[in-house]
Structure 1
């Protein structure tokens, strides 16, 4: 979650952007543009920060987003004061509307995933394959995050291309899914995760990876072996969640 100081840094960055006018070759020559690349980067960073601070339901979030659809100077001149108002509101009311961390959000979804699956059975919807788990999990994460990539490519490892199941680009978190079903052995899953950890250390811009082991038939009864998995790979944090548990 962003704090007020980070928002103030983004405000300064936005104010500096207004000083750099780019030549406009379009038909709207009387509407000067700002540096396109820097403005787009600023917009994405600020929207992500606002999403995790005031939430996407806040009117001021939508007001800021509306004025950053283009790089026209007259629009960004409206977006910057909106950001000032947001900061002022947060300073007068320090407790943000969304005070739940990304880890809490994701771990709540993963730990309650099986409860959702049980409820869906009443609608005759069955989760049978790993691809089904991936689709449902992406939908649940979509409540909180907008930019979720499916099977995001990972830099080649031992000349073999790899992909991580879900990559939440908003926060640079990855999720790898393992379905404990049929004849798969716990030892096999541990081996797969150890192999994945070596591959995914090359996942660019990733801060954390969750290994989500969905255990609908309670085939995994002893969770101690997962406690021995490394807590980090390179600079990436590793967390393993098994659900449901006996």
Structure 2
């Protein structure tokens, strides 16, 4: 019996969700669990299904998902995420790189990196991100690829009788990155309260024009991540605020 290609469910930003759309429908999702973007299985240009995993009578055991294609095999047009990949790749080598795009890319792929680190050859020891310190360590390593002057544990002026520590200060870019990892005692309500206090404190930081709050939520404690992001994102005030919660469970 000849084999066939199943359909591939991919998000608008190019994250592979399910390379076996028809044969394993239990893994299908309307939104990407990494970035929250909508998913699609059909080419936006010709309407034909995106080619996924190859099925046949011969069983191949592999833990790897089929690579996400960049070009539709039916019409030859680029998928939406191909142009975005080009922009990201070009941006990392520019002297005047777009820091918002670069940081967003690092944050969106953070959970993918965590999952990859867990799957080492012969079950070798690795970094498993279990708490906020693990999150900070791994993020610091990823930031090192693109930024030279990363200052840790920069203390900010006191606010309402207390003080806080900015996890990472990108001095040249005037960006402070606040890192948090959710847990049973840090869910949506507590997280929102902490971020509101942090935003107020960072307004007095002399080297911060943008506060980027990265929240790692692998257990899915935040039911409405988009809601928190939309409530706290601010690009109109003197201190710009950007909140990114990953992955986004749906």
- TM-score category (smaller protein): 0.5 to 0.7
- Which of 98, 102, 107 is 1:105 aligned to? 102
Give CA deviations for 1:189-239 in whole Å, capped at 9, x if unaligned: 000000111111111121101111101111112121331125169621000
CA contact (8 A) 2:229 2:242 kept: no
- Which of 118, 130, 133 is 1:131 aligned to? 133
1:63-78 to 2 correspondences below 5 Å: none
Runs of 5+ consecutive residues of structure 2 not aligned to the other structure: 1-90, 121-125
1:33-112 to 2 correspondences below 5 Å: 98=94, 100-112=97-109
- Which of 114, 117, 126 is 1:117 aligned to? 114
More displaced 10-residue stretch of structure 1: 222-231 or 96-105: 96-105
1:1-246 to 2 correspondences below 5 Å: 98=94, 100-123=97-120, 124-223=126-225, 224-229=227-232, 231=234, 235-246=238-249
1: CA distance between counterparts of 2:116 and 2:239? 34
CA contact (8 A) 2:174 2:207 kept: yes
TM-fit CA distance, 1:183: 3.9
2: CA distance between counterparts of 1:109 and 1:234? 25
Runs of 5+ consecutive residues of structure 1 not aligned to the other structure: 1-94
Greater relative contact order: 1 or 2 (C-alpha under 8 angstroms, separation 6 or more)? 2
Give CA deviations for 1:59-118 in whole Å, capped at 9, x if unaligned: xxxxxxxxxxxxxxxxxxxxxxxxxxxxxxxxxxxx995174111111100111000000
Q: TM-score, normalised by structure 2?
A: 0.56
Give CA deviations for 1:114-146 in whole Å, capped at 9, x if unaligned: 000001112332011101111111110110101
Work out the number of aligned pairs and report it.
152
1:157 counterpart SS class: coil
Higher helix fraction (1 or 2): 1
CA contact (8 A) 2:233 2:243 kept: no
Across the aligned residues of Structure 1 and Structure 2, the Cα RMSD in angstroms comes to: 2.1
TM-fit CA distance, 1:159: 3.4
1:151 counterpart SS class: strand
